[in-house]
Amino acid sequence: MILVLNGPNLRRLGTREPSVYGAETFDDLAALCRDTGRKLGHHVEVRQTDDEAELVGWLHEAADGRIPVVLNPAAFTHYSYALRDAIAQRTAPLVEVHLTNPAAREEFRHTSVVAGVATGTIAGFGLQSYVLALHAIAEIKRSQP
């Protein structure tokens, strides 16, 4: 299993600033992730929350279960030390993803407090950021004994 966890406002994809985030919906994203997982031989569960505490709880669940994670922390990326501390407890690969390239956006988006405890970060490729992250996790899992 691979968890795909999404932070605040991502359920609003398709209606939230489509000029920035695209016209695809959250349902499109979830279907793409599940389909990609199937092709890679993994079950993918996609979740979204606007609640920081719930996201932290899901990260604890992943750590306790040694479950790999694709995480779009959204706005929590830039200030949530609680999220960072939860990610630091990970026991399996965790790839941070972003639809857009934060480094090419407003200055406050340039810093990720979670990147330093993630396995890696993929950003700027729209929904394909998730596909790339799922491929990365599948490859890491394949190469582990």
pLDDT by 10s per residue, the chain, length 145: 999 999 999 999 888 767 766 778 999 999 999 999 999 999 999 999 999 999 999 999 999 999 999 999 999 998 899 999 999 999 999 999 999 887 767 687 768 899 999 999 999 999 999 999 999 999 999 998 7
- Candidates 3.40.50.740, 3.40.50.9100, 3.40.50.300, 3.90.550.10; CATH matching 2-143: 3.40.50.9100
The residue extents of the domains of the chain are: 2-143
- Is-contact 83 58, C-beta < 8 A? no
- To the question of whether residue 100 is assigned a binding role by annotation, the answer is yes
Residues with catalytic annotation? Answer: 21, 98
145 contact partners, CB below 8 Å, separation of at least 6:
none
What is the distance between the alpha carbons of residues 17 and 50, in angstroms, rounded to a whole number? 17
Q: Which residue has the tokens 């330093």?
A: 116
47 contact partners, CB below 8 Å, separation of at least 6:
3, 4, 5, 6, 58
**pTM of the predicted model as reported, rounded to 2 decimal places:** 0.92
- To the question of whether residue 42 is assigned a binding role by annotation, the answer is no
